[in-house]
C-alpha cells in the first residue's frame, strides 16, 4: 500500500509554515507521521499537499522546566518525554503516558504535537494533558495565541485549530501538592486502548483540594469526569469515596463500541481504571 501522489512543502520557520498553510487550503500538516502516514497508505486520506514540519526551527524537540510549568515543543517525541528527568519527576503521569504509547519504534518518531492535534479520543497524551490542564501555544498568520486544553478537542479527530495554525509548544503546569497517574488497558502494545484514564489531584493535608480526571475512548473526544471531580473535592480518598468517584466518572457515559471492546465493557473498564488510579495515589 502506497500513498497517493502529493507534493511537499518543507518550511524552515513557523512563519513560513503558517504562510504556506494560509495559501494552500488543501495542505495537511505532517509532524512525526505515525498516524497520518498509515492513514495515507490505507488511502483513508489522500491530501494533495503536505507541509512537513521536520525542519521548522522553533518547534524542534525541547523540554524545559520554567519554574511552575514544563514547556514541551511540539516536535518532541514520546521517547524524549518518557525519559526526560524533569517530566518523570514533576509530571509522572505524562512520562508514563508517553512511555506507553504503542511501541518503541513509534515512540521514537511520534510527537506530542501530532498526538494532540490528531484529536483521537484514545490518544495517551491527549487524555493526560487534559487531566494536567495544559496550555497550548499556537502560531498562526495573525500571530501567537494561547489556548487551554479544555475545549481544544471538539469532536472525533477534530480540534480547535484553524487551518493556518500550528501548535508551537505545550505548557504543562505542576506543583508539589499534585499527585497524578495514567493507566490504560489494551490487548497488545500497538492496538487501540480499550480504556484509558489520567488522574491529577491536588492534596491539602489529607483531603483532595482539587481533582481533574480525564477519560480516553469514553466518547467522541477525550472527556473530563466533572461530576467525579466535584465529588472528590474536600474528601479523603477512603475506599468508599474512591468507589463512589469511579461510579460517578462513568455515570451516564456512552463509550463507543468497536472491535476492541463494546460500550458496556468499556464503561466498566473506565470505572475500574478510575478506581485503580485513585487508589494508586495513596492519599
Partner 1 sequence: MAVQKYSKVEPEENVRVSVKINGRVYAETVEARMLLIDFIRDVAKLKGSKIGCDTTSCGACTVIVNGRSVKSCTMFAFEADGAEILTVEGLSADDKLHPLQEAFWNNHALQCGYCTAGMLMSAYYLLKKNPHPTEEEIRKGLAGNICRCTGYINIIKAVKEAASKGASA
Least gap, CB of 240 to partner 1 (angstroms): 34
Task: Indicate whether 62 belongs to the interface with partner 1 (CB under 8 A).
Answer: no
Classify residue 244 as exposed, middle or buried by CB count within 10 Å of its CB (0-12, 13-18, 19+).
middle
Give the count of beta carbons closer than 10 Å to the beta carbon of residue 220.
15
| Cα separation of the two ends of the chain | 51
Place of cell 500497538: 190
Using CA of residue 28, residue 32, residue 34, residue 37, what is the dihedral sign? positive
Quick one: which of 66, 103, 258, 264 contacts partner 1 (CB under 8 A)? 103
- DSSP summary character for residue 194: S
SS3 126: helix
Nearer to partner 1, 26 or 175 (CB): 26
Candidates 8-16, 62-70, 151-159, 252-260 — which segment interacts with partner 1 by CB under 8 A?
Answer: 8-16
Least gap, CB of 161 to partner 1 (angstroms): 18
SS3 48: coil
Alpha-carbon gap, residue 271 to 62, rounded angstroms = 35
Quick one: which of 11, 113, 119, 133 contacts partner 1 (CB under 8 A)? 11
Candidates 17-25, 57-65, 251-259, 274-282 — which segment interacts with partner 1 by CB under 8 A?
Answer: 17-25
Task: Indicate whether 57 belongs to the interface with partner 1 (CB under 8 A).
Answer: no
Report 209-268 residues binding partner 1 (CB under 8 A).
none
Contact characters 130-159, partner 1, x per CB under 8 A: -----------xx-----------------
Crossing angle, helix 239-250 and helix 263-280, to 10 degrees?
150
Task: Indicate whether 33 belongs to the interface with partner 1 (CB under 8 A).
Answer: yes
Alpha-carbon gap, residue 135 to 142, rounded angstroms = 19
Place of cell 461510579: 247
Task: Indicate whether 1 belongs to the interface with partner 1 (CB under 8 A).
Answer: yes
Applying CB under 8 A, the residues found at the interface with partner 1 are 1-11, 15-16, 19-20, 22-24, 33-34, 37-38, 40-42, 49-50, 52, 54, 79, 102-106, 108-109, 141-142, 188-190
Amino acid at each position: 500500500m502506497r500513498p497517493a501522489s502529493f507534493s511537499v512543502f518543507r518550511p524552515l520557520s513557523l512563519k513560513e509554515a503558517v504562510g504556506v498553510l494560509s495559501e494552500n487550503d488543501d495542505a495537511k500538516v505532517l509532524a512525526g507521521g505515525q498516524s497520518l502516514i498509515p492513514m495515507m497508505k490505507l488511502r483513508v486520506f489522500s491530501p494533495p499537499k503536505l507541509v512537513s514540519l521536520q525542519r521548522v526551527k522553533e518547534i524542534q524537540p525541547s523540554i524545559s522546566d520554567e519554574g511552575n510549568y514544563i514547556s514541551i515543543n511540539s516536535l518532541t517525541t514520546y521517547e524524549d518525554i518518557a525519559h526526560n528527568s524533569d517530566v518523570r519527576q514533576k509530571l509522572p503521569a505524562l512520562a508514563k503516558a508517553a512511555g506507553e504509547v504503542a511501541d518503541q519504534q513509534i515512540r521514537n518518531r511520534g510527537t506530542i504535537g501530532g498526538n494532540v492535534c490528531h484529536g483521537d479520543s484514545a490518544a495517551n497524551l491527549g487524555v493526560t494533558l487534559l487531566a494536567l490542564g495544559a496550555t497550548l501555544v499556537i502560531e498562526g498568520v495573525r500571530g501567537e495565541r494561547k489556548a487551554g486544553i479544555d475545549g481544544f478537542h471538539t469532536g472525533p479527530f477534530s480540534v480547535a485549530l484553524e487551518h493556518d495554525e500550528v501548535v508551537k509548544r505545550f505548557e504543562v503546569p505542576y506543583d508539589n501538592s499534585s499527585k497524578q497517574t495514567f493507566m490504560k488497558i489494551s490487548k497488545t502494545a500497538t492496538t487501540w486502548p480499550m480504556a484509558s484514564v489520567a488522574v491529577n489531584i491536588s492534596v491539602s493535608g489529607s483531603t483532595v483540594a482539587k481533582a481533574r480526571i480525564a477519560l480516553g475512548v469514553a466518547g467522541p473526544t477525550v472527556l473530563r469526569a466533572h461530576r467525579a471531580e466535584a465529588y472528590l473535592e474536600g474528601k479523603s480518598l477512603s475506599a468508599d469515596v474512591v468507589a463512589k468517584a469511579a461510579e460517578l466518572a462513568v455515570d451516564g457515559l456512552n463509550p463507543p463500541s468497536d472491535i476492541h471492546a463494546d460500550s458496556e465493557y468499556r464503561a466498566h473498564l473506565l470505572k475500574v481504571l478510575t478506581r485503580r488510579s485513585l487508589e494508586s495515589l495513596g492519599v
